[in-house]
Structure 1
């Protein structure tokens, strides 16, 4: 009996020792492994893009394989980009995710295996489901409020069914994805008013008081953990807050004041505040902003990164150079559709309204009827209407034909180096259509003038007594 007791004590001691060493050697895995292989690919790398992360992973030239170890701050959604193609994936530390695809038919051939595969298979199925159920944007945003909301609800319910059927064991992912599906609907709803105005040609349209659900209206955007995990929540937070700020700023940049930015002080997520600041800089550090110096001082005081400060200073200096009363940048010897060449200096003595556009630009073409109306109204007045195309040289014939087919009036010019033309660069034009108004002495009136469809353009012309 005594021997049995000794043996039992030894056994208990041995088990205790084994458990001790087991606990000592077992460590939390603080990395994820992503690997894969692409067929028929000519890209040299894949990019993984997420919250404060952008990682480029080289592709092996011999067998088109790739692999990398990622030390993640936490689980999150990422965009995985293969050239112009991308997929949304979900990763957390401990995953070993393998991806294969044929780039000639990426959507139908992408496959996942390894730890984390079921979650990403669901995300791929969700993407297909979205494409099947959601109408094209013009059709979707032209719908009335109830029909629009019905489609969003149908999509959300269909995605929830896919999630339920995916046999995913990760309860944290399931909870996050359910929230994410709701945020996706909210994001579309937040864009509805502006998009419906555009696609339904109802510039005065406003959503009804009951359009937004109460759980959207009550969102405070103070969940830093979710902000770091999902781009949908980040976009929703940025868009909702920017919408509020722009309403306070108003439509007239000459009346905008720094007081409209007081709402930024209430933002609880530092990264969100920084993202909002960067977005506002593109709008407010502008030559059309009357209180430019005040906004610049505010942004400098609230910008921590020296690199971001340098960018801000450069943007500010460009804006000062293009403010009202400054000499306009010049274009020289642009091809004229009617023959010969035209320079901006040839038009000295008249006001000059310049439309920077291209034949491939849908919003540019949408402005043509309004531009024709303005030209007709101011025919024989002291103003020249100049349309400067930034089409590439290979599209020269397309430009010639469109000007003829659409019977475009005014002075029709082709820029000498497309979007890289010195005039376009000097005016720091980031997108088209873009409009500029110059006085008879060749000085800038507005480096970002109202577009023809905007009633403020005629108001400006009347103020100038053109």
Structure 2
């Protein structure tokens, strides 16, 4: 009897152990990287879990105590999964296809793969990939398109629910996510339809403007699990906070405004995880702020942020920016130009260097191009090197725009887009970013004014003549 009890106990322990792990294996053809990383928003982890073998196969076992949404990442290719304890998933995809957004040939099989397969099927069923085209539709066609798509996805969720009982939390989160995505489309239609379809003069339905208000902002489990819902909640709180401060008639973007924003975040009746995200978003503008606001952020950020990952990142940023003060030796660069020729900062020493870090997908970047071209023409006889460094992830898109827009100066391409050296060296958090370097290779301003600002031309002439 004792032996039987012992054996049963061992089996139960083994079963519990197995149910707290998940095995991920498979093969990637045309991989975008030689490693597999896994991002789990709920636990705020982003870890390398496997290295690809020469034939593209991989295998990893991870500990997990409850179901969580996750992203399996290979370079710029990503796949959304629902990780269920005890699952054994086999995943196959083409890295180049998935990187470009095509997931039709992806397969997810194995024990516990049903919910991840649903996520994949929903991704492939979403026909609204060209958002600009959808937002350009007349109102009636837009409504028909987004409603039809929402109904299709809702039906897929219902069918999964009926054949896979016991997934109530997963289903609830999926439905919440779909509602947020629909709200986004309505919001974008309100904001951009007139620009994309200027000949459509029909009024936009009022319900588009109020649909977001029907979504609760207090599902904190979903907040930790679903990135798009987290962004929605942060947007809603940010909007309410800013409107409150405006009603108090405090000057926008002033030091007093930022102080009041921090005061309100501190007193919000929400979990700390929400305050962390609100505070981290506030810090995201740090590099673009005047010193008066930077000082407030440095002094008070720990009052609203306790997340160690965020506080550490901000500390690292401050250390980086300290090295980018005026008069410091500018970080060097070496990139190939549009003709494949290497251009380095050392090659341009003796000239004033004005750098534009940009990308073809960046609207504000493209808005500066006419001003930059005009300034280049007016100052072409000065000792000034105009250097545009693209951080596009699509090199052909960059090459096409350089040709079509007849861009002048030094047109350089930085590999690895947002992980490129220029981004890291200058602690860039958003583009366009303009950088001014003097003839001796010293920084004048690591966050210089844009070409559209008249002061930029004046400063460049002053430096060129010094």
TM-score of Structure 1 vs Structure 2, range by shorter chain: 0.5 to 0.7
Distance 1:421 1:83 in 2: 13
Are 2:61 and 1:68 aligned? yes
Alpha-carbon offset, residue 170 of structure 1: 3.0
Q: CA–CA distance in 2 between the matches of 1:141 and 1:198? A: 9
* Structure 1 alignment gaps of length 5 or more: 1-17
Q: Distance in 2 between matches of 1:157 and 1:252?
A: 42
- Tell me the residue number matched to 2:131: 137
Residue 369 of structure 2 is matched in structure 1 by 368
Counterpart of 2:119 (choices 118, 123, 147) is 123
Counterpart position of 2:389 = 390
**Cα deviations across residues 159-214 of structure 1 (Å, max 9, x unaligned)?**
01222333232340333322221122123444555665876799xxx987542334
Measured after TM superposition, the shift of residue 158 of structure 1 is 0.8
Show the counterpart of 2:82: 90
Name the counterpart of 1:8. Answer: none
Provide closer, same or farther for how the CA distance between residues 251 and 321 of structure 1 changes in structure 2, counting only shifts above 3 A. Answer: farther
3-state SS of paired residue (2:209): coil
Aligned counterpart, 1:231: 227
- TM superposition score normalised by structure 2: 0.68
Partner of 2:146 in structure 1? 152
CA distance 1:90–1:436, change in 2 (3 Å): same
Aligned ranges 1:155-234 → 2 under 5 Å: 155-166=149-160, 167-172=163-168, 173-192=170-189, 210-214=207-211, 216-217=212-213, 219=215, 221-234=217-230
> Judging changes above 3 Å, is the alpha-carbon distance between structure 1 residues 359 and 49 closer, same or farther for their aligned structure 2 residues?
closer
The question of whether the paired residues in 2 share the 8 Å contact of 1:254 and 1:291 is answered with yes
In structure 2, C-alpha distance between the alignment counterparts of 1:81 and 1:220, rounded to whole Å: 30
Partner of 1:78: 70
Structure 1 residues 385 and 174: CA distance shift in structure 2, 3 A: same
* Kept after mapping to 1: 8 A contact 2:265/2:304: no
Whether the 8 Å CA contact 1:303–1:309 is kept in 2: the answer is yes
SS of aligned partner of 1:221: coil
State yes or no: 1:46 paired with 2:36.
Answer: yes
Query: Given that residues 226 and 233 in structure 1 are in contact (C-alpha distance below 8 angstroms), is that contact kept between their aligned partners in structure 2?
Result: yes
Counterpart in the other structure of 1:435: 434
Distance 1:111 1:404 in 2: 39
Residue 355 and residue 81 in structure 1: after superposition, are their counterparts in 2 closer, same or farther (change >3 A)?
A: closer
CA distance in 2, matches of 1:397, 1:97: 39
1:10 alignment counterpart:
none
Unaligned runs of 5+ in 2: none
Provide the rounded CA distance (Å) in 2 between the counterparts of 1:60 and 1:440.
46
Q: What is the deviation of 1:129?
A: 0.5
Between structure 1 and structure 2, the one with the greater Rg is 1
> What's the CA shift string for 1:52-110, capped at 9, x where partnerless?
233433257488252414223x32321122443322121333x4232242436663443
- The structure-2 alpha-carbon separation of the partners of 1:328 and 1:145, relative to structure 1 and needing over 3 Å to count, comes to farther
Alpha-carbon separation, structure 2, partners of 1:231 and 1:421? 25
**What TM-score do you get using the length of structure 1 for normalisation?**
0.68
Partners of 1:357 and 1:388 within 8 A in 2: no
Q: In structure 1, what is the equivalent of residue 90 of structure 2?
A: 99
Q: In the alignment, which residue of structure 1 is the partner of 2:302?
A: 300
CA distance in 2, matches of 1:316, 1:252: 21
Report the CA distance between 1:127 and its aligned residue: 1.0
1:316 Cα deviation after fit = 3.0
Residues 34/257 of structure 1: CA separation in 2 closer, same or farther (3 Å cut): same
Q: 1:157 Cα deviation (Å)?
A: 0.6
* Alpha-carbon distance in 1 for matches of 2:190, 2:349: 39
Distance 1:425 1:65 in 2: 30
What SS is found at the alignment partner of 2:208?
coil
Q: Deviations over 1:442-463 (max 9, x none)?
A: 98578242463xxxx3599899
| Distance of 2:407 and 2:205 partners within structure 1 | 39
Distance 1:328 1:71, change over 3 A: closer
Q: CA deviation at 1:407?
A: 4.8
Q: State the Cα RMSD in Å.
A: 5.3
Q: Give the structure 1 partner of residue 278 of structure 2.
A: 276
Alpha-carbon separation, structure 2, partners of 1:277 and 1:36: 38
In 2 relative to 1, CA 402–445 (structure 1 residues): closer, same or farther, beyond 3 Å? same
